[in-house]
Amino acid sequence: MARSGPVATDTTTIALGLAQIRVGSSSDNITKPGAELSSSDSIGALANTKFTGNTDWYKLESGFPLIEDYTTPIREGAMLECAFKEITPEHMALAHGDDISGGGYDVHSGEVPLGSRSAPDYVRMEAVYTYPDQSSTMTIIFPRAQVSANVEMDLQSEDAAAVPIVFESKNASSDVTDGDAIWDDKALGHILWA
């Protein structure tokens, strides 16, 4: 008997597991459209990773009763939410909006000032997802992103803490200072498969 319904046509395209989040300098990599960051730029173990492409739509209606005639986007955004498990001064600085690409952080000593936040620094974020076949990848690239977070560290007696943060993609086109023309037709970045 033949199967019916939504039968898988290519099981190598099924996504299972988390993406690796890599963070680097936006200004040093703004002219590079491909995946530039390495696994050494990873923020480590994660509790979750979630990409969202937000679009607000305008809908034209006319007649009586009103009937929709046309739809067009009026606002677009992209963000990646994740929660990191490795609680270090570097990661907490990232959660507070600092560009950590310059290094200089120690794993178990350092300081993150509280009560002195300003606009988050721009960073490059690459979310590298490796499919279960271990050879195909999907990489979400935000060439110019800011981290926005209400920093929350929920310590539990029998589970690892995970600090949620959000990478919000910002305009990386030549329209803005520190942008580049390679992003003019994809101002928020892109998703690459390899």
pLDDT in tens, 2-22: 888 898 889 899 999 999 999
Helices (H) and strands (E) in the chain, counts: 2, 7
Burial state string for 102-135 with b = 16 or more CB within 10 A and e = fewer than 16? eeebeeeeeebeeeeeeebbbbbbbbbbbbeeee
Whether the predicted pLDDT of 149 surpasses 90:
no
Amino acid present at 157: S
Compute the mean pLDDT over every residue in the chain, rounded to the nearest whole number.
95
pLDDT tens, position by position, 91-107: 999 999 999 998 889 99
Residue 86 has pLDDT above 80, yes or no: yes
Domain boundaries, the chain: 14-55+73-193
One-letter amino acid of 68: E
**pTM for this model (two decimals):** 0.93
